[in-house]
Structure 1
Amino acid sequence: MPDGVTCIYFLLDPQPFSLFSYSQVAALERQVFDFLGYQWAPILANFLHIMAVILGIFGTVQYRSRYLIMYAGWLVLWVGWNAFIICFYLEVGHLSQDRDFIMTFNTSLHRSWWMENGPGCLVTPVLNSRLALEDHHVITVTGCLLDYPYIEVLSSALQIFLALFGFVYACYVSKVFLEEEDSFDFIGGFDSYGYQAPQKTSHLQLQPLYT
């Protein structure tokens, strides 16, 4: 996860593709940890986001405003999804982390990978527990410097931060591309200054010259 210095460098970096680079790296990092936690809903959302970032890169390179508009539209959904993730892990309203079907489509009991592998976490298995289902075990996690819900919240907050900058960038660049397409002067242009009608020349009848 990028630190504060990296974020400051991102704000000061004038290169347009640095935005796509940070977005892609952050999405791939999140995809890896969601795969380790078998969270299928976030995996699907991350995959779509990675494809959308590639679409945004292609639209920028090829000067396609439509692709950037599609990328901006996806970022609106992406912000909404990450806002839902934040509310889910903070258990806002009636949301609860005990509902496994939201993240895993009710196919497993796995949760965030950071639950057992967070910084400073000490995992102790509980043997012969009656709460353990088949092919599962019960553990106790203690000593975490930062609980896994807050790590997931910070990760989603970073995604929202990058998405907001990406949305502004996509809207601005697509607007520039559209203006250039409207003012494009094709082979001399179609305005009165760039196009001149051919002048009619009078044909003179040649007469023999006698000396």
Structure 2
Amino acid sequence: MGCCSGRCTLIFLCTFQLLAALERQVFDFLGYQWAPILANFFHIIVVILGLFGTIQYRPRYIVVYAVWTALWVTWNVFVICFYLEVGGLSKESNLLTFNVSAHHSWWSEHGPGCVRQEMQATGVKSLDSQSFISVMGCIVEFQYIEVLHSSFQILIALVGFVYACYVVSAFTEEEDSCLRK
């Protein structure tokens, strides 16, 4: 296979997908979003496996990567539906934190242009007092940032799926031609 082949493109796509997943993982960790953290972790593992399979000419690993990209697209469609509150889902629920905590998307308080103000529940400040956080002036609402992240992940995964199928096909054709000689 040449340098600009599907194999090289899949290596580039896997590397780019890995960087995008690591970026997403960081922001999910900052928001204590446990379900996305777990999904991102598995995604990172499988993308590394797909990258390894592509570099080492292992079609079975690439098939695992291709199957995972279909599941990854499904997960990201769920995340989009969650943040857009489709089908009875609510972005205010603790579903993405496994109901362990009341944390939410990091972008909800730190988005572009957001001004964060803490207000004390009682007049006396103490270490144990509860504070309410008010966020104003956001240029882009946090749910749209999360939707953009998921949409970008879907786009990369779909292109990766197509190239993974192509590379597996090319690898098996090469094996078949070598066996016939």
Partner of 2:118: 125
Structure 1 residues 17-71: Cα deviation after superposition (integer angstroms, max 9, x where no partner) = 2211210110000000000000000000001010111011111111111111110
Structure 1 136/149 Cα, relative in aligned 2: closer, same or farther at 3 Å?
farther
Q: Distance in 1 between matches of 2:129 and 2:61?
A: 46
Q: Does 1:181 align with 2:175?
A: yes
What is the aligned-residue identity percentage?
Answer: 57
TM-score (norm 1): 0.76
Runs of 5+ in structure 1 lacking a partner? 1-13, 190-211
Partner of 1:87: 81
Determine helix, strand or coil for the equivalent of 1:178: helix
Runs of 5+ in structure 2 lacking a partner? 1-6, 123-127
Please identify which structure carries the higher helix content. 2
User: Aligned ranges for residues 47-126 of structure 1 at < 5 Å?
Assistant: 47-100=41-94, 102-126=95-119
Native 8 Å contact 2:120 2:130 kept in 1: no
By how many angstroms is 1:125 displaced?
1.2
Q: Distance in 2 between matches of 1:181 and 1:61?
A: 16
Partner of 1:151: 145
Q: Which one has more relative contact order, counting CA pairs under 8 Å at least 6 apart? A: 2
Runs of 4+ aligned residues of structure 1 deviating over 6 Å after TM superposition are none
User: Aligned ranges for residues 19-58 of structure 1 at < 5 Å?
Assistant: 19-58=13-52
By how many angstroms is 1:136 displaced?
5.2
Provide the aligned C-alpha RMSD in A: 1.7
Q: Give the number of equivalent residue pairs.
A: 169
Structure 1 91/63 Cα, relative in aligned 2: closer, same or farther at 3 Å?
same
Larger radius of gyration: 1
Q: Distance in 1 between matches of 2:143 and 2:91?
A: 10
Structure 1 residues 145-171: Cα deviation after superposition (integer angstroms, max 9, x where no partner) = 001000000000000000000000100
Structure 1 residues 99-126: Cα deviation after superposition (integer angstroms, max 9, x where no partner) = 20x1001111110000110011011112
